[in-house]
Structure formats: structure tokens, C-alpha cells
Amino acid sequence: MSKELVKGNEAVGEAAIRAGCRYFFGYPITPQNEIPEYISARMPEVDGVFLQAESEVAAINMVYGAGGAGGRIMTSSSSPGISLKQEGISYIAGAEVPCVIVNMIRGGPGLGTIQPAQSDYFQATKGGGHGDYRMIVLGPSNLQELVDLTYEAFDLADRYRNPVMVLGDGVMGQMMEPVVFPEMRDLDELPEKEWATTGRGQRDETNLINSLYLDPQDSYEHNMRLADKYARIKENETRFKTLHADDAEYMFVAYGTVARIVRKAIESLREEGHRVGLLRPITLWPFPDEAFEQLVEQVKGFLTVEMSTGQMFEDVRLALNGAVPAEFYGTTGGIMPDYRDVAEQMKKTMDKVGDAS
Amino acid sequence: MDRQILIAGFGGQGVMLMGQMLAYSAMKKDYNVSWMPSYGPEQRGGTANCGVVISEQPVGSPVVNEPTECVAMNLPSLEKFADTVVPGGCLLINSSLADADVNRDDITILRIPASEEAEQLGEVRVANMIMLGALSEATSLLSVEYLKDMLSEVLPERRHGLIPLNEKALDRGRELAQKQLAVK
């Protein structure tokens, strides 16, 4: 397979179609507009459906309906649009409808800016919508990973009957980078969805897609079943990568675009002789807590870097549970951190932790 | 090698394509590359720019704030970015549209009348390829001959009739840069 130079948003569209996505419902918003634009041209070539809805609320409910009928479905948006979709996402999680949702984050709150941010981490990983649900959240750090995770997101969604979010940002959507696309999936080889509302046919019972459990005992059992499923996802699907974990005395924690910048900071710090490394969560939910457990024996301190004022940082602190010091550095509101500032912050962390011990 | 190239101009001057041409050509030589456009509201009817990173290492931030090479296709771009070029770097100015003084003696400055030269070739829109030819010559980044080979892969098929003209433009840019570099 040969490398292609592709824009992130278009790469998402192509990866989704190759994964077997044949239904897309969306509504325009910068900086993710090339996703629906690309898919609107590409979907007719594979006899799929592209529909620009009248709003984000309509789009997510179309996802709910089409997902319930068993198709591979995607919608995409950016922060304010994802906020509008939250009610639908909660229903989809409650009714266990598989689907893929892409959020190319822009700076908030409110209309904010169209520049990149990571300030929707809370919304993505802690609910966003109401109820005791979890969504699988994938945080790619380069366009190849964006392609691979988008492709796989459809399998994860189907395997667990759960919404999966691909969490990018404005940079990831707008930039071009070399990618190799995976094979086109054969739709006939996708697993059958016995639960889908495709008409009763020869089945004994009517399939029903629903999130309403009026009887509290029923509702309790439903929620406990969901909790078991979430525990299974955490057990099986937690992913992270490390860099220089073999000898690092201090570790950065960063995901997505920021992890790229941190890599540059690590290069320059290591040239100066500092033993620093990176822990990069790939699944933001489930969060890779156990990765920290393995590192606390060796690492003296962690510096979390985000394009927010500290959202994933809360998960890092929970994972560390006070075992070693945790520091934070962030830029927010559409500003990207500079790798030199990141390196400088790590030196401060090393001084601070060194002084305390 | 780690090159951070910033290309800036008016919308319509082909600055995005120029960047894509560079990124694609370097990718084909197995470098790590990224291309990143400015995508703020200033694009609409105003200035446009893109950053290209070409590196042997994985690309960190694709946003180019401190270019090793900068191409300024118009005056607003020159005024905005002349000071951001790193010492020892290279600034290429489309002198047809930007003739302001630049107060830098720590960088190489080439003034290429790209728009006028492009008009003489019969198509003002190839000013970008003239600048790319000059950039290639000034930086020995990717040879003009190699860039010519890439044209058919980067340009969409319906534009392939324009390849000979673009090749001429690349050659002309190289020539103009050679002359200025010989004087320096």
C-alpha cells in the first residue's frame, strides 16, 4: 500500500467508508467541514447515504435511528455541535446503539474560537449527556493513527454495542500528513446484528431499541448490565503508548496533538541529559490507570500537558493517587503550547520535585 | 534535516498548492512531512498561509511559527513574517507585490519578481511555481528536476495540460535565484 498525503478530515471520511460506514448524518461547523464535504462526494460511490441534517440534534437522532436498524453509522462535528448532540448520545448509550462520533475540538466555552483545543475532554469522558453511561473515547496523535482508530472504532462500537468517539482537534482536522489506508471492508463479512430493528421477519420476538426503563428495578438491572459491559471494555480495550519508559525519571502525560509537541520537548531535554519520557493515553476512556501503577516505582514526577486548563490532569491524579507528585501545564482557548515552554515546565517540575525530596 | 517552511500570500496565489507540492515531494523521498494551513476567518478574501515541516524525525507541531524558509508572496505577508525567520534562514520575497525594506542581515534574502515573470510566461498564476523554483535553488531542499517529476502527481488530471508551463516557471525561478545568489 502506498503513502498518500491527506488532510485529517478527509482521512477520517475515507477511513470510515473503508470500515464499512454507509450512513453519515451531520451538520457543518469549522474546523471539521471537510469530513462531511468529503463523505458527500465519496458516499454515493459506495451506494451509501450522506445526509446534511437541519441541525446537530436532528443528525444525532438520525444516527440513533439508522444505528438501531443495524448499519455502520458516523456523525462528526466540533465542540459546540457536539454539545448539541449530547442528549442523543445519552439515548444512544442507553439503548446500546453502536455508532461513531468524531469531535474535532475547537476552543470553548460557547462559540469560542475555531482554533484547536482539548477542552472537551471532560465532556467526552465524563458523560456529557445525562445518566450513568460511558463512551469509548479514542485520542489519535497523528493522521495514521486517526485513520487506524477511526477504522477500528466501528468494530469497537459493534462489538460492545456502544457509541465510540474519535477525539481530535482543529490541527488534526486541518493538517495533511502521509497515511496508508486500510483495506475496504467487505460488508458481507461484518457480524450479523441479531438485535437490530430490521423488521420481525422469521424471528419469534419483535426487536426493540429503547432507553426507557420506567420500573426502577428494571432500570437498575439495565444499568448494572451496562456497568458490567463498561468493566469488560476497560479490561479489554485500554490502550496507551510510552516513550523512554525504560529509563525515564520524569514522565510527561499527554495525548493527541499535544503529545507530538511533547515529543519535541523530550528530544531537546534528553539532548541536555535529562531522563524524561512520555506516557500517552490512546483510549481516554477507558483511561490507562494501570500504566501509572507500573511506572510509579521508577518515576519521580509526572507533568501533564494539555490544551486545556487541566481536564485529563484529574484522571492522572486519580491514577497516581498521591504516589508521586503530579504537575500540570496547559494552554487553552485555541493556543497551542510551544515545545520550548513545555521543556521549561518540565525543568521546573524537576526542580520542584527534587527540592521536596 | 528539520525544515520549517512558511508560505504566505493572498488567497488565489497558489500558496496552499505550493506547500502541498513541497510536502508531497518530500514525502516521496521518505521524509516525515506535514502541511498545515492557516484556517482563521482572515482567510476569507484576505491573506492565506501554510506551514510545511520536512524532517528526518517524526513531526512535532505542524504549525510553523519560526520558519527556516519563508516565502512572502505579498506585502502583508512580508510585513507579518519577515521577523519570524530564524537566523541563518532564508526569506524569498515576491518583489512584484512586496518591495519593502527588510531590516535583517542574519538571513539570506532573495527578491524574485515572480508575478511579473509569471505574466511574461503568459499566466500570472504560475508565480507560485517561480517562487518554488527559487526556493529549491536557494535551499537545495528538493531539486527543480525532481519537483518537475512530481507535478503530474500533485496536479489533478484536468490540469495536466498546464504541466509544461509549470515546468517553465520552476526553471525561471531557479534561474532568477541563481543570478542573485551568484552576486551575494
Q: Which residues of B make CB contacts under 8 Å with A?
A: 20, 23-24, 27, 32-37, 39-41, 57-63, 65
- Residues A29 and A156 reside in one and the same domain: yes
Q: What pLDDT digit, counting tens, does each position of B98-113 carry? A: 989 999 999 999 999 9
Q: Chain A closest CA to B180's CA: distance in Å?
A: 33
Q: Which helix (H) or strand (E) holds B182?
A: helix B163-183
DSSP string, A328-345: EEE--TTPPPPHHHHHHH
- Residues A94 and A146 reside in one and the same domain: yes
Domain that includes residue A130, residue range: 4-186+210-237
- Residues A80 and A119 reside in one and the same domain: yes
- By the 8 A CB rule, do B133 and B174 touch? yes
How far apart (Å, rounded) are the C-alpha atoms in residues A124 and A43? 27
% of chain A surpassing 70 pLDDT = 99
Model confidence at A72: pLDDT above 90: yes
Domain that includes residue B137, residue range: 2-183
CATH number at residue A279: 3.40.50.920
CATH number at residue A227: 3.40.50.970
CATH number at residue B137: 3.40.920.10
Model confidence at B44: pLDDT above 70: no
How close are the terminal C-alpha atoms of chain A, in Å?
52
Q: Chain B closest CA to A263's CA: distance in Å?
A: 7
Owner of C-alpha cell 519563508: B70
Owner of C-alpha cell 523530550: A266
Q: What pLDDT digit, counting tens, does each position of A113-138 carry? A: 999 999 999 999 998 999 999 999 99
Residue of B54, B63, B65, B154 best to disrupt the A interface, most CBs of A under 10 A: B63
Q: What average pLDDT does range A78-84 have in this prediction?
A: 98
Q: What average pLDDT does range B120-140 have in this prediction?
A: 95
C-alpha dist (Å) from residue A312 to A117, A120, A280, A281, B131: 13, 10, 11, 10, 44
- By the 8 A CB rule, do A309 and A331 touch? no
- CB-closest option in A114, A175, A264 to B40: A114
The verdict on whether omega for the bond into residue A31 sits within 30 degrees of 0, i.e. cis, is yes
Other residues' Cβ atoms within 10 Å of the Cβ of residue A330: 20
- Residues A90 and A230 reside in one and the same domain: yes
- Residues A142 and A268 reside in one and the same domain: no
Among the listed residues B9, B13, B7, the one whose alpha carbon sits nearest the alpha carbon of residue B125:
B13
Q: What pLDDT digit, counting tens, does each position of A266-289 carry? A: 999 999 999 999 999 999 999 999
- Residues A24 and A129 reside in one and the same domain: yes
Model confidence at A354: pLDDT above 90: no
Model confidence at B45: pLDDT above 90: no
DSSP string, A116-134: B--TTHHHHHS-SSSSS--
- CB-closest option in A171, A178, A263 to B63: A171
How far apart (Å, rounded) are the C-alpha atoms in residues B148 and B52? 19
pLDDT of residue A266: 98
- CB-closest option in A5, A263, A264 to B23: A5
- Residues A140 and A285 reside in one and the same domain: no
How far apart (Å, rounded) are the C-alpha atoms in residues A130 and A134? 10
Among the listed residues A109, A93, A106, the one whose alpha carbon sits nearest the alpha carbon of residue A60:
A93
Indicate the average pLDDT of chain A: 97
* Number of separate domains in chain B: 1
Residue of B34, B42, B52, B150 best to disrupt the A interface, most CBs of A under 10 A: B34
Predicted complex ipTM? 0.95
Q: What pLDDT digit, counting tens, does each position of A323-332 carry? A: 999 999 999 9
Q: What average pLDDT does range A256-260 have in this prediction?
A: 98
Q: Read off the DSSP letter of residue A183.
A: P
Residue of A10, A32, A175, A305 best to disrupt the B interface, most CBs of B under 10 A: A175
Model confidence at A1: pLDDT above 70: no
Model confidence at B42: pLDDT above 70: no
Q: What pLDDT digit, counting tens, does each position of A289-303 carry? A: 999 998 999 999 999
Cβ-defined contact of A260 to B61 (cutoff 8 Å): yes
Q: What average pLDDT does range B121-129 have in this prediction?
A: 95
Q: What average pLDDT does range A194-200 have in this prediction?
A: 94
Owner of C-alpha cell 450512513: A23
pLDDT of residue B88: 96
Amino acid identity at B22? L
- CB-closest option in B27, B33, B60 to A264: B60
